[in-house]
Amino acid sequence: MNNSDIQRVMKILKEEVKQWKPPIVGEIERHFKDPYRVLISCLLSLRTKDKVTGGASTKLFSLADNPYSMLKLSPAKIMKAIYPVGFYRRKAEAVRIISKILIEKHNGIVPDKIDELLKLPGVGRKTANLVVTVAYKKQGLCVDTHVHRIVNRWGYVKTKSPYETEMALRKKLSPRYWIIFNDLLVAYGQNLCRPISPKCNICSISKYCLCYKE
């Protein structure tokens, strides 16, 4: 797959994803337009299914929706609210620590720069890029396991880790697609281009894929 193919693939995917439910973090941003909620919900989503993340985020934000009110909750109350997300004890602690740092160092405001976000505990490149792109609509390139798997399956890049994939895409992919890339490929990866038994027979972009050529 080359860059001219990517233009066609993006056009097809924009239409295809309309039939599927959007990723939960993007849904939270569209509904609330709040960087803090995007950051915390993204943290909760790590190694957790969207349905569980959505329920936990809704319950937690009904108790506290900003760093100041979050610190008023006890660790036990946060844990109870976000259960059963993966590693809920560790994530509850991270939510409190992040909220404290945001108040002490950023006046309660979530940073809009990747380097600053990466200084927060539990925040990796995926989360940092997602906050920048989804919450602030600034240039970033979020690469999760779906994006990493799919672009390698396409043959668009040949990389061994999400970090390598992000760096390769930053060099190769047109910036016009950066902000929307994750949302499109996550929906596509969850519903059709799955890790196991992808539905290649009904895929509208299979002819552009390396798997198809094999």
Active site members = 126, 144
Answer whether 208's CB lies under 8 Å from 41's CB.
Answer: no
Side-chain half-sphere CA neighbours of 171 within 13 A? 7
Phi/psi of residue 61, nearest 5 degrees: -70, -15
In degrees to the nearest 10, what's the CA dihedral of 63, 116, 177, 16? -20
Round to whole Å and give the CA distance between 51 and 169: 29
Phi/psi of residue 193, nearest 5 degrees: -90, 65
Answer whether 165's CB lies under 8 Å from 152's CB.
Answer: yes
Task: Report, in angstroms and rounded to the nearest whole number, the Rg of the chain calculated over CA atoms.
Answer: 18
